[in-house]
Amino acid sequence: MVTVVVGTQWGDEGKGKIIDTLAGQHDIVARYQGGANAGHTVVWNNQKFVFHLIPSGLLHHNVVGVLGNGVVLDPFSFFHEMTDLENRGIDFTNRLFIAENAHLTLPYHKILDQIEDNKRGKEKLGTTGRGIGTTYADKYGRIGVRVADFLNEEVFVKKLNIALELKNYLFQQYYRESTINVEQLVEEYSKYRKKFRELAIDVSAYLNDAIEHGKTILAEGAQGTFLDIDFGTYPYVTASNPISGGACTGLGISPKKITKIIGVAKAYTTRVGMGPFPTEIKDDLNEKLRTAGNEFGATTGRPRRCGWFDAVIVKYAAMLNGLDELIITKLDVLSGLKTIKVGVKYYYKGDEINKYPLDTNVFENVEVEYKAFQGWDENISSVSDFYHLPANAKKYIEKIEELVNTKITAISVGSSRDQIISR
Ligand code: IMP
């Protein structure tokens, strides 16, 4: 059985907590795309854990974590994160694996990502600066370095020489930056080789064998549907496919093996970085929601832009991902608002458009029609049963369910594991 968990907005939907909750019922948690740009926050035993590369379900001691070939792996971040978690009592022995065909993010990818985004000036994307786009660009440009290449020092040197021939030319002649020395990089990274050798496997073969033996797998998507390189608000997107289809190419499992797809949406909307955001709130309430929801990037600490729930995009996400169900997070953050709005329809140049438009030029200029709902004052963070929610909160959930045409099966009302209402 393979269940995929995807974000249905612009990331930060609270997938970390949902994956942590679901991981207890699974044998394996597998990340299928993205890299150290992700930041999944999980609160456990009153301690806050932020996962960037390591699957967030690994707080459960009997769960195996896997990083698929679709992930871009930064050895430096990976080892820092692993060591930090080990120092906090998490044991990864025999339960963490990485795909031998995953691509590595190396120091030059990070430097180039930051330089390139700055060079874009006004048109900057606001990337996380973690070398994500530049690593994927090298992967598709066929000058990437894979885990398997790194394991063999001779191959690693050869591949680095090919990649750095071009990068160093750019650094020196164009960006006027210092160049990267191959020998130094090889020397610096050799300390990671032994550990990588222990962790590297053929993830596709491993997962297919696990499926054959009746094991349950939770495929963890990072970022969200509208940051998808193909279907998101291009170019204001990440460089991979967070949508459910990405789980097949990013883990090496057949679409026939996916049994369930769960979407996660925040009860409102947030976005970090640049790009269109039709339901963004332009008054003081933006700040109020940011404070109430602690909306600051888990990776970069940047303040997140806040807005109303956009039913048009989530409905599109439900179709695109083939959602079987939807989980709503952070409903508690909306407590105390007199009125809560939901974007239900778009207009472009006066004409109604009935779905999310793939043309970003259209999307950035749509007018949103809202439906307003009465809010509730009660603190709902300890409610554990749907029927005990305030009537207006129930109405809000039921309306969203109707608008996005997907069953809402759970509602999260706080960051702890037990603050979740199953329906
Ligand atoms: P990159 O993924 O670092 O290339 O950044 C591209 C865009 O995706 C930027 O707008 C980032 O803010 C956004 N982004 C990347 N990772 C995340 C995430 O985990 N949550 C929310 N936004 C993200």
Tens-place pLDDT, residues 105-157: 999 999 999 999 999 999 999 999 999 999 999 999 999 999 999 999 999 99
Q: Is 126 in the pocket of ligand 1 (CB under 6 A)?
A: yes
Report the mean per-residue pLDDT for the chain.
96
Q: Distances in Å between the alpha carbon of 42 and those of 14, 49, 97, 325, 417?
A: 9, 5, 21, 22, 8
Q: Is 238 in the pocket of ligand 1 (CB under 6 A)?
A: yes
Tens-place pLDDT, residues 344-398: 999 999 999 989 999 999 999 999 999 999 999 999 999 999 999 999 999 999 9
- Taking the chain, what is the end-to-end CA distance rounded to the nearest angstrom? 22
Say which CATH architecture domain 104-193 belongs to. Answer: Orthogonal Bundle (1.10)
pLDDT of residue 185: 97
pTM to 2 decimals? 0.96
Residue 198 has pLDDT above 90, yes or no: yes
Instruction: Report the nearest atom of ligand 1 relative to the CA of 273.
Output: 10
Q: Whose CA is nearest to atom 1 of ligand 1?
A: 127
Highest mean pLDDT: which range of 44-48, 85-89, 119-123, 182-186: 182-186
Closest CA to 295 of 330, 338, 342: 330
Q: Distances in Å between the alpha carbon of 359 and those of 10, 312, 365?
A: 17, 15, 10
Instruction: Report the nearest atom of ligand 1 relative to the CA of 128.
Output: 3
Distance from the alpha carbon of residue 204 to the mean position of ligand 1, in angstroms: 26
pLDDT band at 298 (very low <50, low <70, confident <90, very high): confident
pLDDT of residue 47: 86
Distance from the alpha carbon of residue 223 to the mean position of ligand 1, in angstroms: 7
Distance CA 221, CA 314 (A): 16
pLDDT of residue 229: 98
Distance CA 302, CA 320 (A): 29
Q: Annotate 281-311 with DSSP letters as a single string.
A: --STHHHHHHHHTT-B-TTT-PBPEEE-EEH
At the topology level, CATH places domain 265-422 in Adenylosuccinate Synthetase; Chain A, domain 3 (3.90.170)
The CATH classification of domain 2-102+200-262, taken from the options 1.10.287.3510, 2.40.340.10, 3.40.440.10, 1.25.10.10: 3.40.440.10
What residue ranges do the domains of the chain occupy? 2-102+200-262, 104-193, 265-422
Tens-place pLDDT, residues 206-236: 999 999 999 999 999 999 999 999 999 999 9
Supply the residues annotated as catalytic.
12, 40
pLDDT band at 301 (very low <50, low <70, confident <90, very high): confident
**Phi–psi pair at 103, nearest 5 degrees:** -90, 150
Distance from the alpha carbon of residue 227 to the mean position of ligand 1, in angstroms: 7
Distance CA 54, CA 73 (A): 10
Distance CA 161, CA 153 (A): 12
Distance from the alpha carbon of residue 238 to the mean position of ligand 1, in angstroms: 6
Best of 238, 274, 277 to mutate for ligand 1, by most ligand atoms within 8 A of CB? 238
Residue 300 has pLDDT above 90, yes or no: no
Structure token digits, residue 324:
């079987």
Residue 46 has pLDDT above 90, yes or no: no
Q: Is 35 in the pocket of ligand 1 (CB under 6 A)?
A: no
Tens-place pLDDT, residues 309-320: 999 999 999 999
Rg (CA), the chain: 22
Q: Is 131 in the pocket of ligand 1 (CB under 6 A)?
A: no
Q: Is 412 in the pocket of ligand 1 (CB under 6 A)?
A: no
Q: Count of alpha carbons within 13 Å of 29, Cβ hemisphere only?
A: 27
Q: Is 222 in the pocket of ligand 1 (CB under 6 A)?
A: yes
pLDDT of residue 43: 83
